[in-house]
Amino acid sequence: MLLAIDVGNTNISLGIMDGDTLIGRYRLMTKTTRTSDEYGFFLVNFLTQSKVVPEEISDIIISSVVPKLMYSLTSAIIKYLKKEPLIIDHRMDTGIKVITEAKSAVGADRIVNTSWAWNTYHSSAIIVDFGTATTFDYVNNAGEFRYTVIMPGLETALHALTSQTAKLPEIEIVKPASVLGTNTIEGMQAGAVYGYIGSCEYIIRKMKEELNDPACTVIATGGLGRVIARETDTIDSYDPDIAYKGMKMIYDRLKEKKDENI
């Protein structure tokens, strides 16, 4: 079994892959102040809850955009799971080519997403990842990751709104029945959700126009991706598990090449 760990700015997501099947998932808040023993406690308890013993985990792979916590996390893995984790970066052979002005600045999560899309569809795609930031990453028909758009995530934008205003409350992110709000909360929900849908649709259409690639596939992922994806026809599909599937795909590719060189 493979333990896939996706370290994001808001959450750390853990998934157990048995072959190509995700058999368990767990999420905890990202905190850079945790010790290796705290992470070890979480890891062992996650495996226990999933009815998996540490010895059944053959390897661990990590996609991280939070460098500050990696020492404690990797130390926990080595101490409690007795494995040296594989950490994804732009230098790895993931099946795609990262062709940007600053390759080292491209987050591992985006490499995972675009690698999964290319190795799944073998054609151009835009992967929209709804997280702390929302990213629109484009991989072309040649498997080259060249272009991206980044905007504040929906929760991030709402937090900025409520924290900078005296009378606007925190709200649940749901789509109201109408864009015409009849009270403050409905008005905020309408502005947040309908506004975000409109922003996403414009960016996707503009990307396709400038790329001259109207037929490219658009896939959404990330926690709030489901809310937006079901409300627009500019997104072709939603898959919440791309991070785990992408890490498994990269792991299999690297393992195959390693075995070939033995």
What digits encode the pLDDT tens for the residues 122-138?
Answer: 999 999 999 889 999 99
Catalytic sites, residue numbers = 109
The answer to whether domain 2-87 and domain 97-247 are alike in fold is yes
pLDDT exceeds cutoff 80 at 183: yes
User: What is the percent of the chain with per-residue pLDDT over 70, rounded to a whole number?
Assistant: 98
Distance separating alpha carbons of residues 70 and 61, to the nearest angstrom? 12
| pLDDT given at position 104 | 82
Instruction: Dump pLDDT digits (tens) for 159-179.
Output: 888 888 888 888 888 888 899
pLDDT confidence bin for 195, thresholds 50/70/90: very high
Confidence band of 16 (pLDDT split at 50, 70, 90): very high
HSE-CB of 105 using CA atoms within 13 angstroms: 5
> 125 and 138 in contact (C-beta within 8 Å)?
yes
Which stretches within 16-168 are classed as H helix?
A: 36-49, 70-76, 108-121, 154-163
> Nearest Cα to 204, choosing from 193, 191, 220?
220
Task: List, in order, residues 6 or more apart from 94 with CB less than 8 Å away.
Answer: 88, 111, 112, 115, 250, 253
* Res 38 pLDDT > 80: yes
Is pLDDT at 188 greater than 80 in this prediction? yes
Give, in degrees to the nearest 5, the angle at Cα 89 between 84 and 91.
Answer: 110
Which tops the pLDDT comparison, 49 or 206?
206
What pLDDT score does 260 carry?
A: 64
pLDDT value for 164: 87
75 token code pair = 């130390």
Domain spans of the chain, in order of start: 2-87, 97-247
Lowest mean pLDDT among 39-48, 71-80, 126-135, 252-261: 252-261
Whether the per-residue pLDDT at 242 is higher than 80: the answer is: yes
The model's pTM is 0.90
Question: Could you tell me the strand order of the sheet in which 237-238 lies?
Answer: 97-98, 144-152, 133-139, 125-130, 217-221, 237-238
Q: Coil, strand or helix: which one is 6? A: strand
2-87 classified as CATH 3.30.420.40:
yes
Q: What per-residue confidence (pLDDT) applies to 169?
A: 86
The owner of tokens 């052979």 is 93
Is the confidence at residue 205, as pLDDT, over 80? yes
pLDDT band at 70 (very low <50, low <70, confident <90, very high): very high
- Position 62 confidence tier, pLDDT thresholds 50, 70, 90: very high
Determine the topology of domain 97-247 in CATH: Nucleotidyltransferase; domain 5 (3.30.420)
Q: Is the pLDDT reported for residue 39 higher than 70?
A: yes
Residue pLDDT, tens place only, 208-239 = 999 999 999 999 999 888 889 989 999 999 99
pLDDT confidence of residue 128: 97
pLDDT tens-digit readout, 134-163: 999 999 999 999 999 999 988 888 888 888
- The pLDDT of residue 148 is 93
